[in-house]
Amino acid sequence: MYDPLHHTTPGVNEPYPDSYWASVSGQAPQDDGQLTTDIDVDVCIIGAGYTGLSTALHLAKEHGIKATVVEANQTAWGCSGRNAGFILKTSGRKSFSQMKAQWGEEVMRGIYCEMQQGVETVNALIGQGIDCDRQPNGYIKVAHKANKMKELVDLAKLQQEMFGYDVQILSKDELHNNYMADQNAYGAIRYQDGFGLNPLKLAWGYQRLAREAGVKIYSGTTVEGWREENTQQVLQTPKATIRAKKVVIATNGYTPKGFHSFVAGRTLPVLSQIIVTEPLSDEQIAACNLISSNVVMDTRALKYYYRKLPDNRLLFGGRGAISGKDAEDPFYANRLLSVLKTSFPALQNINYQYAWAGWISVALDDLPHIYQNPQQNVFYSMGYCGAGVSFSVQAGKRLAQKVAEQVVPDLPLYQKHLPKFPFAPFRRVGQWGYFHYGQFKDTYL
């Protein structure tokens, strides 16, 4: 499997992975094909995932700038088409209490507002006719150990006080009786506004809206070389040269090795693994009391997450392999299946029908950053830490403002460079150590 720390290209026109999303989403919408003619453009966006498509759409609709998007493979071929489809008011891994301690209440509230606007923007775009199998609202965060319930209650009270957030506190019995009888759950808190959807269909919907707004989207057009000539950025693709006044890097966890010095060593690509089971029978659903299709995540450092899909399958995800060469080892899918069966013992005979992995982008400071170079001609948004399905759209909106030379909120998200990882060539060693620490913490602390 393509590994961003080892490979200099993600390939050209590679097919979608053999994922559940690719199997149920139908025919991919038409794009503009491979770029075969040299072009001069005002703005070139590299990457046709959520970030790139949102940037292009907002540039066209709000600033009258028709950007050109180039994608090495297919729209949403990377993490935008491989994730679990959780729409949440969050991104990164830094908690709001940590933000308040570091920057004060005003900044914390500003970041919360940005996360909230991300969900609102997604809902507004879906409202423009995107069919993405949206499920009913509800996000359940479960305590995977009894002693984690106090942490969840404290979090709920903080968010109720700070944001007036509507958060339910669910005892173990309430959770098991009214939502699902997860035997690894010792209670939970439930938010009213998270929900699940088909992430690939969502991205295809963004593509349609962007093309209707006049955006050109070229697939099979990988950037093989990048140089600067005078005030122009010159991008070499397999069959054409692009000369652009401004370039947006929207490749996030799929950014190849040595792609550009501006982003080198500033993120850690980490594999997330997902399985989707065979359809559950009515008897199996009843035995697990799987009443809810709310999205679910636990309190582990190495989190597990799941939801019941519209066709009564279970999607279940967690961490994958450390390197790309091990990504397709069935060990990781089987490990997820074994954990799923401890949560729902009535499913001992269930198997998974789909298994795939995707790269997420982890930031050293646990926050995404949307930034530009001093010349303001190279921009990026990276570091969603696996929680970027909604916020990446907001990031694209803010990127569009930056490209159009407008003022954005004075928040660390938008004003600071991603910090570099110390000893960047050894990031995977640190990841290996963190995984072992997380495993110990989740078991014994």
Q: Using one digit for the tens of pLDDT, what is the confidence trace for 123-162? A: 999 999 999 999 999 999 999 999 999 999 999 998 898 8
* 13-18 CB contacts, 8 Å cutoff, 24+ apart: 13/73, 13/74, 13/219, 13/220, 14/72, 14/73, 14/74, 14/77, 15/73, 15/74, 16/74, 16/77, 16/81, 16/200, 17/82, 17/356, 17/358, 18/354, 18/356
Q: Residue 8 pLDDT more than 90?
A: yes
Average pLDDT of the residues of the chain: 96
For the domain 134-197+269-362, what is the CATH code? 3.30.9.10
Contact 30, 281 (CB under 8 A): no
Query: For 218-264, where are the alpha helices, taking DSSP H only?
Result: none
Look up residue 380 and give its amino acid.
Answer: Y
pLDDT average, residue stretch 36-48: 98
pLDDT digits (tens, 9 = 90+) for 168-183: 999 999 999 999 999 9
CB 320 within 8 A of CB 273: yes
The pLDDT of 291-301, averaged and rounded, is 96
Instruction: Report pLDDT for 166.
Output: 87
Give the percent of the chain with pLDDT over 90: 94
Domain boundaries, the chain: 20-83+200-266+365-434, 134-197+269-362
pLDDT for 379 beyond 90: yes
Cβ neighbours for 288, distance < 8 A, ≥ 6 positions apart: 180, 181, 280, 344, 346, 347
What whole-number distance in Å separates Cα of residue 268 and Cα of residue 395? 19
Q: Which residues lie below 8 Å from residue 413, measured CB to CB, with a gap of 6+?
A: 111, 114, 367, 368, 369, 370, 398
Any idea which residue has 């879906």 for tokens?
126
**% of the chain surpassing 70 pLDDT:** 100
3-class DSSP assignment, residue 157: helix
Does pLDDT of 444 surpass 90?
no
Query: Which CATH number, 3.40.1390.30, 3.50.50.60, 3.90.1300.10, 3.90.1170.50, labels domain 20-83+200-266+365-434?
Result: 3.50.50.60
Residue 165: pLDDT band with limits 50, 70, 90: confident
Residue 371 predicted with pLDDT over 90: yes
pLDDT tens-place string over residues 394-410: 999 999 999 999 999 99
Q: Give me the pLDDT at residue 97, please.
A: 87
Q: What CA–CA distance (Å, rounded) separates 181 from 140? A: 13
Q: How far is residue 382's CA from residue 74's CA, in Å, rounded to a whole number? A: 20
For residue 107, what are the contacts with CB-CB under 8 A and spacing of at least 6? Answer: 99, 411, 412
132, 209, 314, 396 from 129: Cα distances, Å: 9, 9, 27, 20
- DSSP class of 191: E
The mean pLDDT value for 103-114 works out to 95
Q: Are the C-beta atoms of 245 and 255 separated by less than 8 Å? A: no
Q: Tell me which residue has tokens 């955006």.
A: 215
pLDDT of residue 417: 97
Nearest 5°: phi and psi at 324?
-65, -30
pLDDT at residue 232, rounded to an integer: 96
User: Does 94 have pLDDT greater than 90?
Assistant: yes
Res 206: pLDDT: 98
Q: Summarize pLDDT for 193-246 with one digit per residue, the tens.
A: 899 999 999 999 999 999 999 999 999 999 999 999 998 999 999 999 999 999
Question: Which residue carries 């809206």 as its tokens?
Answer: 209
Contact of 307 with 274, CB cutoff 8 Å: no
Q: Which residues contact 158 (CB under 8 A, 6 or more apart)?
A: 96, 97
pLDDT at 162: 85
Residue 291: closest CA among 280, 276, 275, 278: 280
Instruction: Check whether 122 has a pLDDT greater than 90.
Output: yes
Q: Which of 283, 332, 292, 329 is CA-nearest to residue 314?
A: 292
Place of tokens 């290209």: 9
Q: Kindly report, residue by residue over 244-264, the tens digit of the pLDDT.
A: 999 999 999 999 999 999 999
The length of the chain, given as a count of residues: 445
pLDDT of residue 198: 98
CA distance 407 to 245: 19
For the record, the structure tokens of 374 come out as 């001093």
Per-residue pLDDT for 300 more than 90?
A: yes
Per-residue pLDDT at 187 exceeds 90: yes
Contact yes or no for 139/195 (Cβ under 8 A): yes
Helix axes 96-103, 149-163, angle to 10 degrees: 60
